[in-house]
């Protein structure tokens, strides 16, 4: 009796037959939005299961990162990038980053976790710097007759209280912290990009670069989009499997409406810094 198999069943059986070579596939992880430490954007805890699955499910020829990120928390940037590198080294899988509108500041930190970085001709990269912003409300509470009372044990416990006048000592301490973070950021970029980086004094000043200029500075490796670039590497038959963060039913319908609204405002503010 002659048995026939459908194409779908046959393709599914191929992976169990040693001498049959399956078509290659690339796992794609989207990194969209600001990097936060409050669970409203990109953070290591939320991305951990996504990245683990992307690197571990099947045997991907590569992992591609779709990045559209204006930056955010330096700690979360470091944690996410470190996780990507650990998995890449453990699984011996190359990582490619594809920048859409922007990979700036912490977003560029994530891009540097890839072995190669590609951008659109209009993509923004760079912003290798650190920023801290806040408000001074001491005149506002005085206007309404409100007296601020703060008691501490330890002269350095209270710093940059928005309801008190700015202290030169506090500003000096903050600048020291920002410089330390900036140095860590620069060291990481140099460790990942190495000799590819141009000898440009503006490279680590927080300056941003568009498309070809980012390539000229060695911040990226080429101008190209995900599908055609990876097809040129792995063949026209390469498949793409997408992985992303998923929300539960309650998260999608009402339980996090306010939180999501706040996240949307924060995202827009972060992207707006780059005219986006």
Catalytic site residue 73? no
Nearest to 35 by CA among 115, 108, 129: 108
> 3-class DSSP state for residue 264?
helix
* Phi, psi angles (nearest 5°) of residue 157: -70, -40
Which of 143, 157, 172, 237 is an active site residue?
Answer: 157
Q: State the Cα–Cα distance between residues 81 and 74, nearest whole angstrom.
A: 11
User: Which residues are CB-neighbours of 118 under 8 A, at least 6 positions away?
Assistant: 96, 97, 98, 99, 220, 221, 222, 223, 224, 225, 226, 229
Q: Cβ distance 87 to 16 under 8 Å?
A: no
Sign of CA dihedral 80, 84, 86, 87: positive
Catalytic site residue 46? no
Q: State the Cα–Cα distance between residues 154 and 170, nearest whole angstrom.
A: 14
Which of 73, 77, 105, 123 is an active site residue?
Answer: 105
Q: State the Cα–Cα distance between residues 181 and 160, nearest whole angstrom.
A: 18
Residues with a catalytic annotation lie at 105, 157
């Amino acid at each position: 009796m002659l048995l026939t198999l459908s194409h779908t069943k046959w393709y599914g059986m191929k992976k169990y037959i040693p001498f049959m070579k399956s078509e290659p596939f690339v796992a794609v992880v989207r990194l969209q939005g600001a990097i936060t430490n409050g669970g409203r954007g990109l953070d290591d805890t939320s991305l951990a299961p996504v990245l683990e699955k992307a690197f571990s499910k099947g045997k991907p020829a590569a992992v591609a990162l779709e990045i559209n990120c204006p930056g955010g928390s330096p700690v979360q940037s470091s944690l996410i990038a470190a996780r990507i590198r650990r998995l890449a080294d453990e699984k011996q899988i190359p990582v490619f980053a594809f920048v859409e509108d922007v990979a700036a500041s912490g977003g560029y930190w994530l891009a540097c976790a890839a072995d190669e970085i590609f951008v659109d001709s209009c993509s923004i990269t760079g912003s290798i710097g650190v920023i801290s912003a806040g408000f001074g409300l001491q005149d506002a509470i005085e206007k309404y007759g409100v007296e601020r009372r703060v008691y501490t044990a330890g002269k350095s416990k209270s710093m940059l209280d928005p309801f008190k006048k700015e202290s030169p000592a506090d500003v000096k301490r903050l600048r020291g912290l920002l410089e330390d973070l900036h140095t860590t950021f620069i060291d990481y970029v140099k460790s990942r990009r190495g000799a590819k980086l141009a000898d440009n004094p503006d490279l680590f000043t927080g300056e941003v670069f568009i498309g070809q200029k980012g390539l000229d500075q060695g911040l990226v490796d080429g101008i190209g989009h995900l599908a055609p670039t990876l097809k040129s590497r792995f063949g026209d038959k390469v498949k793409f499997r997408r992985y992303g963060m998923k929300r539960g039913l309650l998260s999608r319908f009402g339980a996090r409406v306010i939180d999501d609204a706040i996240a949307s405002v924060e995202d827009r503010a972060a992207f707006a810094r780059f005219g986006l």
